[in-house]
């Protein structure tokens, strides 16, 4: 989940447009899922090789037809980086060919408190509370 | 192997009957599905090698958006096959023409007819915008009519859904649209502003009422860019007896800066249905185009003007709502009318782009026409309007944010709900009087409106007065609001 399709063993992040383009070019799969970049994103490569970036709206099923290539950064369940403390997950419906992001609020206050009680770095706790 | 398209061929359970239209992007066939009497049309993209990728991406966009649209103002979606199938297609409800394009041949049309057509198209646009979609290629040939009178918008190949990826934006850097109708911001590459559709609506209204195109039919990017600084010849220069209110509405759609246009299609529909309520500004009486100084200032601004991200369609609509306040002034400006005014003031202050429609209902008999002239000979209707604008004056709102309407109807609740529905009102504010035996028996007007209105209703009561059965009285400062 932390890797890419062009050099999986190197565990490089898909940090931006260039890496995403390389990863999509390295696979013939229509759908690629990855995590660890934390911010939910949907990338798509058109037949003419143009790369598009989209910030998904939770709860809206996005059609992801199989003739295009897609790369979904699913987001994070416990380390959000997009300002929303709710946990993030996505559902891929392979029959309807849709992808739906979801946000699930949880008691992040308690989780942050336990991080502090365990003596872990403050920024891990603060991130859960602010989503940044 | 490609399917040969000819009558009798079956595709995905549909049988091709006849080709209705062949365009550069797609062809349209009349199709049937065995055992299904629905009139249906199938759209098939041109996907031969060497074809314009815009045809393919536009078709993908339409396949994404159409299944999500509903209501009377779009063709009903039936089925689709994607590009991973042997032959991609979209099947939809078939609507028979002619399109609004046919009416251009009769232009210039009389003002009332332009207003009627414009209001219906604006209704359709507002319904589309409420569904998160900007059309972005609105033109007369994309407008059809249902037998019941509603406008139907077709062809969503250049449209934008604000919750789905924009496949066109990533694919093409040149402006997309149709020369005469494309908005200035689309020329600059902005594809997410619903007010672009209001610009196209303005071009249509201009053409229908003058017989001329406001920006001609430019074929080059340079020609398209001209509309960033050159304003059109005012419609009244073409048709001297065109009413000022219509010119005001049209030029208000054609402003270069979207922030200076009417803000929603519902506002345009409201104005076109109530010409007497159009606030007449400098635009209304303009006889010639802007002078060189204004033009040069706009030209300088247009150079290097970068596209700015604008709010998503739905958020934009939410910031420019139509608020309706139903006021009962039969007892003069009493405590309830004052409390209602205070709540109205707060709502309007919180929403700087909101428009306020002040409405009162004049009861008339269900059958016989009652005299609407009082003892002193003044029309009660005119007096109602005067009372209403007297009540709203204390709100201190500029004239262009307020309209006044006296509805003559036998049933107040019906009249209020009917007005809110027809004019796409977003929020109704109204007062509720204290409980009485008669009111308990008949049911209050406000409770009927709350039950039947198609939008949010806020009911205001005077603090300290008991409510009717089952209702909790609230202070005017804390109105109860139903979603």
Residue among A51, A62, A65 whose CB faces B164 most closely: A62
Question: Whole-number mean pLDDT of chain A?
Answer: 87
Whether B478 has a pLDDT exceeding 70, the answer reads no
pLDDT (mean) for B134-138: 96
Q: Say if the Cβ atoms of A46 and B57 lie within 8 Å.
A: yes
Residues B410 and B366: beta-carbon distance below 8 Å: yes
Instruction: Pick the residue from chain A with its C-alpha nearest to B165.
Output: A54
User: What pLDDT is attached to residue B41?
Assistant: 96
Task: Collect all residues with Cβ–Cβ distance below 8 Å to A57 and sequence separation of at least 6.
Answer: A101, B163
User: What is the chain A residue with the closest CA to B82?
Assistant: A65
Q: Which of B24-28, B170-174, B189-193, B440-444 has the lowest mean pLDDT?
A: B440-444
3-state secondary structure at position B62: helix
Residue A99 confidence (pLDDT): 96
- CA separation, residue B357 to residues B31, B200, B344 (Å): 46, 26, 11
Q: Are B263 and B353 in contact (CB under 8 A)?
A: yes
B270: part of which helix (H) or strand (E)?
helix B265-273
Phi, psi torsion values for B439, nearest 5 degrees:
-65, -40
What distance in Å separates the CA atoms of residue B464 and residue B296, rounded to the nearest whole number? Answer: 61
Instruction: Check A46 against B166: CB less than 8 A apart.
Output: no
Please state, in angstroms and as integers, the Cα–Cα distance from residue B25 to each residue in B28, B103, B160, B206, B477, following that order.
Answer: 10, 24, 18, 28, 57
pLDDT for residue B366? 61
Say whether pLDDT at B473 is over 80.
no
- How far, in Å, are A88, A101, A122 from residue A75 at the CA level? 6, 9, 22
- Which residue in chain B is spatially nearest to A51 when comparing CA positions? B170
Proportion of chain B above pLDDT 70, given as a percent: 86
User: Which of A3-12, B152-161, B261-270, B385-394 has the weakest average pLDDT?
Assistant: A3-12
Please state, in angstroms and rounded to a whole number, the distance separating the CA atoms of residues B184 and B201.
Answer: 13
Cα separation, B74 vs B63, whole angstroms? 14
pLDDT band at B378 (very low <50, low <70, confident <90, very high): low
pLDDT, position B482: 47
* Per-residue pLDDT, B109: 97
Nearest CB among B63, B64, B165 relative to A42 is that of B165
What's the pLDDT at B468? 41
Give the Å distances, CA to CA, from B193 to A132, B111, B129, B131.
Answer: 29, 28, 10, 14
| Token pair listed for B353 | 């782009």
Question: Cβ neighbours of residue B236 under 8 Å, at least 6 residues apart?
Answer: B242, B244, B247, B285, B286, B287
Kindly state the DSSP code that residue A86 receives in the 8-state scheme: S
SS3 of B73, please?
coil
Better pLDDT: B363 or B114: B114
Is residue B375 very low, low, confident or very high in pLDDT (cuts 50, 70, 90)?
A: low
Q: How many Cα atoms sit within 13 Å of B455 on the Cβ side? A: 23
Q: What is the pLDDT of residue B330?
A: 85
pLDDT of residue B443: 66
Residue range B389-400, pLDDT digits in tens: 889 999 999 888
pLDDT of residue A62: 96
Residue B310 pLDDT = 57
User: What is the Cα–Cα distance from B263 to A31, expressed in whole angstroms?
Assistant: 40
> For residue B370, is pLDDT > 60?
no
B133 pLDDT exceeds 60? yes
Cα–Cα distance between B405 and B36 in angstroms, integer?
47
pLDDT of res. B338: 92
pLDDT at B367 over 80: no
CB-CB under 8 Å, A66 with B84 = yes
Q: Which two tokens stand for residue B292?
A: 């060189």
Helix intervals (H) in chain A: 17-25, 108-117, 122-130
Is B125's pLDDT higher than 90?
A: yes
Cβ B163–A65 below 8 Å, yes or no? no
A33 and A60 in contact (C-beta within 8 Å)? no
Least confident stretch, A109-123, B312-326, B366-380: B366-380
Distance from CA of A39 to the nearest CA of B (A): 16
DSSP count for chain A of H helices, then E strands: 3, 7
pLDDT for position B471? 40
Q: How confident is the model at residue B303 (pLDDT cuts 50, 70, 90)?
A: low
What pLDDT, on the 0 to 100 scale, is given for residue B476?
40
Per-residue pLDDT, B142: 94
Question: Quick check: helix, strand or coil at residue A37?
Answer: coil
What's the confidence (pLDDT) of residue B337?
92
Banded model confidence at residue B211, pLDDT cuts 50, 70, 90:
very high
pLDDT by residue (tens digit) across B20-75? 988 777 889 999 999 999 999 999 988 665 556 777 888 999 999 999 999 999 99
Residue B151 has pLDDT above 90, yes or no: yes
pLDDT at residue B57, rounded to an integer: 87
* Residues counted in chain B: 483
Nearest of B263, B254, B202, B205 to residue B228 by alpha carbon: B254
* B243 alpha-carbon distance from chain centroid: 22
Confidence tier at B299 by pLDDT (50, 70, 90): confident
Model confidence over B78-87: pLDDT tens digits?
Answer: 999 988 888 8
Alpha carbons B290 and A5: distance in angstroms, whole number: 58
Contact A53 B171 (CB under 8 A): no
Cβ B85 vs Cβ B1: under 8 Å: no
- Spatial separation of the C-alpha atoms in residues B188 and B196, rounded to whole Å: 12
Please tell me the least confidently modeled range out of A11-25, A91-105, B126-140: A11-25
Question: Above pLDDT 70, what percent of chain A?
Answer: 98
Average pLDDT, whole number, for chain B? 85
Cβ contacts of B64 on chain A, cutoff 8 Å: 63
- Count CB-CB contacts under 10 A for residue A38: 17
pLDDT tens-digit readout, B212-221: 999 988 888 8
**What pLDDT shows up at residue A3?**
77
- The C-alpha of B106 sits at a distance from chain A's nearest C-alpha, in angstroms, of 43
Separation CA A99–CA A79 (nearest Å): 21
Chain A residues with CB within 8 Å of chain B CB = 42, 44, 46-48, 50-54, 57, 60, 62-63, 65-68, 97
What is the predicted ipTM?
0.83
Identify the bridge partners of residue B28 per DSSP, sorted by sequence position.
Answer: B21, B43
Range B308-323 average pLDDT: 70
Q: Mutation target for B interface from A17, A46, A61, A94: give the one with most B CBs within 10 A.
A: A46
Q: Which stretch of DSSP H or E encloses residue B160?
A: strand B160-161
CB A53 within 8 A of CB A70: no
B481 upstream amide cis, omega within 30 of 0: no
Q: How many CA atoms lie within 13 A of B183 on its CB side?
A: 30
Q: What percent of chain B has pLDDT over 90?
A: 52
Query: Taking residues B457-468, what's their average pLDDT?
Result: 73
Q: Is-contact B269 B325, C-beta < 8 A? A: no
Q: Report which of B73, B411, B357, B113 is spatially closest to residue B243, judged by C-alpha positions.
A: B113
Q: Quick one: pLDDT band at residue B181, thresholds 50, 70, 90?
A: very high
Looking up tokens 């198609």 gives B454
Task: Say whether pLDDT at B301 is over 80.
Answer: no
Q: Is the pLDDT of residue B469 over 50?
A: no
pLDDT top residue among A80 and B347: B347
Q: At B223, is the pLDDT very low, low, confident or very high (cuts 50, 70, 90)?
A: confident
**Predicted confidence (pLDDT) per residue in A56-104, tens digit:** 999 999 999 988 899 999 988 877 778 888 889 999 999 999 999 999 9
Contacts with A54 from chain B: Cβ below 8 Å: 164-166
Whether the CB-CB separation of B65 and B159 falls below 8 Å is answered with: yes
Evaluate whether A106 touches A80 at the Cβ level (below 8 Å): no
pLDDT at position B474 is 38
- The contact set of B with A (CB < 8 A) is 53, 56-57, 60, 63-64, 82-84, 163-167, 169-171
* B107 has pLDDT over 70: yes
Q: Which residues of A touch B164 (CB under 8 A)?
A: 54, 60, 62-63
Mean pLDDT of A8-16: 79
């Amino acid at each position: 989940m932390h890797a890419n399709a062009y050099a999986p063993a190197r565990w490089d992040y898909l940090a931006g447009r260039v890496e995403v383009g390389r990863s999509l070019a390295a696979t013939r799969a229509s759908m690629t899922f990855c995590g660890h970049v934390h911010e939910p994103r949907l990338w798509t490569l058109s037949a003419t090789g143009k790369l598009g970036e989209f910030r998904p709206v939770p709860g809206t099923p996005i059609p992801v037809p199989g003739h295009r290539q897609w790369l979904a950064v699913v987001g994070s369940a416990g380390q959000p980086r997009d300002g929303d403390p709710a946990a993030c997950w996505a559902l891929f419906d392979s029959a309807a060919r849709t992808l739906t992001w979801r946000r699930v609020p949880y008691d992040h206050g308690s989780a942050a408190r336990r991080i502090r009680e365990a003596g872990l770095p403050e920024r891990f706790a603060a991130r859960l509370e602010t989503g940044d | 192997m490609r399917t040969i398209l000819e009558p009798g061929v079956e595709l995905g359970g549909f049988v091709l009957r006849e080709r209705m239209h062949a365009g550069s992007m797609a062809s349209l066939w009349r199709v049937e599905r065995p055992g299904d009497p629905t009139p249906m049309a199938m759209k098939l993209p041109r996907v031969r090698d060497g074809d314009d990728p815009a045809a393919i991406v536009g078709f993908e966009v339409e396949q994404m958006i159409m299944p999500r649209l509903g209501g009377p103002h779009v063709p009903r979606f039936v089925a689709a096959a994607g590009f991973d199938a042997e032959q991609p297609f979209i099947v939809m409800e078939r609507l028979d023409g002619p399109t609004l394009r046919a009416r251009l041949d009769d232009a210039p049309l009389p003002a009332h007819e332009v207003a009627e057509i414009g209001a219906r198209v604006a209704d359709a646009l507002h319904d589309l915008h409420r569904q998160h979609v900007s059309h972005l290629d609105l033109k007369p040939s994309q407008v059809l009519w249902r037998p019941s009178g509603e406008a139907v918008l077709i062809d969503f190949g250049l449209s934008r859904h604000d919750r789905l990826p924009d496949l066109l934006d990533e694919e093409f850097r040149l402006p997309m649209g149709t020369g005469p109708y494309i908005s200035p911001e689309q020329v600059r590459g902005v594809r997410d502003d619903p007010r672009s559709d209001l610009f196209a609506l303005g071009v249509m209204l201009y053409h229908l009422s003058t017989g001329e195109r406001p920006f001609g039919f430019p074929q080059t990017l340079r020609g398209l860019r001209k509309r960033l600084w050159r304003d059109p010849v005012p419609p009244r220069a073409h048709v001297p007896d065109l009413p000022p209110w219509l010119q005001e509405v049209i030029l208000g759609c054609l402003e270069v800066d979207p922030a200076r246009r009417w803000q929603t299609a519902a506002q345009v529909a409201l104005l076109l249905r109530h010409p007497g309520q159009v606030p007449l500004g400098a635009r209304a009486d303009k006889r010639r185009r802007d002078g060189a100084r204004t033009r040069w200032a706009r030209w300088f601004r247009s150079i290097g003007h970068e596209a700015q991200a604008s709010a998503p369609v739905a958020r934009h609509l939410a910031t420019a709502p139509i608020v309706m306040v139903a006021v009962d002034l039969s007892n003069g400006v009493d405590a309830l009318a004052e409390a209602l005014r205070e709540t109205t003031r707060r709502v309007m202050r919180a929403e700087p782009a909101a428009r306020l429609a002040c409405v009162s209902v004049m009861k008339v008999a269900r059958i016989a026409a009652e005299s609407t002239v009082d003892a002193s000979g003044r029309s009660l209707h005119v007096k109602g309007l005067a009372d209403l604008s007297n009540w709203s004056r204390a709100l201190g709102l500029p004239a262009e944010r307020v309209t006044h309407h006296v509805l003559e109807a036998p049933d107040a609740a019906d009249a209020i709900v009917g007005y809110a529905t027809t004019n796409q009102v977003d929020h109704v504010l109204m007062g509720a009087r204290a409980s009485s035996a008669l009111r308990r028996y008949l049911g209050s007007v406000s409770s009927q409106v709350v039950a039947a209105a198609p939008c949010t209703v806020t009911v205001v009561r005077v603090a300290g007065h008991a409510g009717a059965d089952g209702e909790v009285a609230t202070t005017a400062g804390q109105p109860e609001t139903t979603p």
